[in-house]
Amino acid sequence: MFSVMDEAFAVFAGRVISRNQLWADVGRLAAVLPERAHVFNLCENRYLFCITLLAAASRQQVCLLPPSQQAATIREILVDYPDAYIAGNRDPGLADIDWFEVPAPDGAQHSGRPLEIVWPSARLIAFTSGSSGRPRASEHSLETLRISAGMAVGALGLGDQVRLMISTTPPQHMYGLETSVFWPLFSRLILYDRRPFFPEDIREAVNDAGWPAVLVTTPTHLRHLSGGDWHNLSGVISATDNLSDKLAGETRAILGQSPVEIYGSTETLSFAHRQTLQDGLWRLYPGCRLRRDDLGRVCLRAAHLPESVALPDRINLEGQDTFAVLGRQEDMVKIGGKRSSLSELNRRLLDLDGVEDGFFYQLAGNDGEDRLAVVVVSKLEKQQIRAGLQPYLDEVFLPRKIHFVANIPRNPTGKLTRQARDALLAKLV
Cα–Cα–Cα angle for 393, 394, 397, rounded to 5 degrees: 80
The region of weakest confidence among 68-72, 82-86, 155-159 is: 68-72
Architecture (CATH level 2) of domain 336-428: 2-Layer Sandwich (3.30)
| pLDDT at residue 211 tops 50 | yes
Which regions of the chain carry the CATH code 3.30.300.30? 336-428
Question: How many beta carbons lie within 10 A of that of residue 162, not counting itself?
Answer: 13
Span 152-190, pLDDT tens digits: 999 999 989 999 999 999 999 999 999 999 999 999 999
Span 274-313, pLDDT tens digits: 999 988 899 999 999 999 998 889 999 999 999 999 998 8
Q: Which fold has domain 4-325?
A: Rossmann fold (3.40.50)
CA distance 220 to 239: 10
Q: Which residues make beta-bridge pairs with 291?
A: 299
Task: Answer for the pair 414, 219: CB distance below 8 angstroms, yes or no.
Answer: yes
- Tell me the CB-side half-sphere exposure of residue 310, using CA atoms within 13 A: 9
| pLDDT at residue 365 tops 70 | no
Cα–Cα–Cα angle for 320, 325, 327, rounded to 5 degrees: 155
Span 87-140, pLDDT tens digits: 999 888 898 899 999 999 876 676 667 888 999 999 999 998 654 456 789 999
* Report field, pTM of the whole predicted structure over 0.75: yes
- The order of strands in the sheet holding 282-284 is 15-18, 8-12, 190-192, 164-167, 213-217, 233-238, 260-265, 269-275, 282-284, 322-328, 313-317
Quote the percentage of the chain above a pLDDT of 70: 95
Which regions of the chain carry the CATH code 3.40.50.12780? 4-325
CA distance 65 to 77: 10
Residue 90 DSSP class? S
3-state secondary structure 222-236: HCCCCCCCCCCEEEE
| pLDDT at residue 1 tops 70 | no
CA distance 317 to 309: 16
Cα Rg of the chain, angstroms: 22
CA distance 405 to 157: 42
Cα–Cα–Cα angle for 48, 50, 56, rounded to 5 degrees: 100
